[in-house]
Amino acid sequence: MKITSVNGSPKGRNSNTHKMMKEIIKGVEAQGAEVESIFLSEVKVKHCLGCLACWLDKNKECVIKDDMAMLIDKWTQSDIVICGTPIHSDNVSSILKTFIDRCIPIVSPFMDKDEHGEYKHKENDRHIPKCVIVSNGAYPEQSQFQVISHFFKRLARNSNMEIIAEIYRGQGSWLTLPEFSPNRVYVDAYFELLNRVGEEIVISGTLSDETQSKLAEPLGSFDEYMSNLESYWLKSIK
């Protein structure tokens, strides 16, 4: 099994997104799957021009010459992609959105009605991998991921992609900031849970109800978390 992780955080290897994805990858590798990690902060991907030249070209090639053709090859050769992003303005990061926009050569220009009578893109001969969504945000509540979840579900529907897991972590600042070290026991337990996530998506291609339920549990008191976060900013602002 080939799995590709795509980290959409501008902070790359120093991000909370990477901390989460790294733990999932440990579980994936423990089950013998092949993993390649891509950091969008380290590659060159320009904005889509919206010209649709890729739909008119018989080879489905984009007119922009950057790293995107290579990334599309890796995407379509994967069995599963793990797509990670922080919450930025209640949605995915800008560099991940740019990457997603540039994936349009994979999609067929032709459309048809689905079982509900709503139009979507037809399937074509390009392989579309299954997808795992990973995100974290600084707010404590899980409700902050409503927009991202809806965005990816619409994207999956229109591109004929199956989402096999959504992993969202509120209280994201507790994953890194040393000021919050009294809560490391909760964070360490959460990272172990992410190891299990990696194992389950390789073994069964989905997550158990038990794992899904545990992933949504808070890392601790919301009020304590917000107090810690406020203290951090008060100390840091000069």
pLDDT in tens, 195-218: 999 999 999 999 999 999 999 999
Average pLDDT over residues 179-188: 72
Average pLDDT over residues 45-72: 95
Place of tokens 């800008």: 94
Contact between 90 and 97 (Cβ < 8 Å) = no
Pick among 3.30.465.10, 3.30.70.2190, 3.40.50.360, 3.30.70.20: CATH of 2-236? 3.40.50.360
pLDDT in tens, 129-143: 999 999 999 999 999
Average pLDDT over residues 21-29: 97
Average pLDDT over residues 175-189: 75
Pairing of strands 2-7, 111-113: unpaired
pLDDT above 80 (res 184): no
Give the rounded percent of residues in the chain with a pLDDT score beyond 90: 83
Confidence of residue 179 (pLDDT cuts 50, 70, 90): low
pLDDT in tens, 99-131: 999 999 999 999 999 999 999 999 988 999 999
pLDDT for the residue 181: 57
Confidence of residue 178 (pLDDT cuts 50, 70, 90): low
Contact between 75 and 3 (Cβ < 8 Å) = no
Give the rounded percent of residues in the chain with a pLDDT score beyond 70: 97
Nearest in space to 133 (alpha carbons), one of 120, 121, 124, 146:
146
Average pLDDT over residues 85-103: 97
Query: Domain coordinates of the chain in residue numbers?
Result: 2-236
- Return the minimum-mean-pLDDT range out of 19-23, 49-53, 179-183: 179-183
Q: For the range 106-110, what are the long-range contacts, defined as Cβ-Cβ under 8 Å and sequence gap of 24 or more? A: 106/60, 106/72, 106/75, 106/76, 106/159, 107/158, 107/159, 109/52, 109/55
Measured in residues, the chain has a length of: 238
Average pLDDT for the chain: 94
pLDDT for the residue 65: 94
Give me the helix-helix angle, 16-30 and 184-203, nearest 10°. Answer: 50
Whole-number Å distance between alpha carbons of 170 and 163? 20
pLDDT for the residue 228: 87
pLDDT for the residue 180: 63
Entry pTM: 0.94
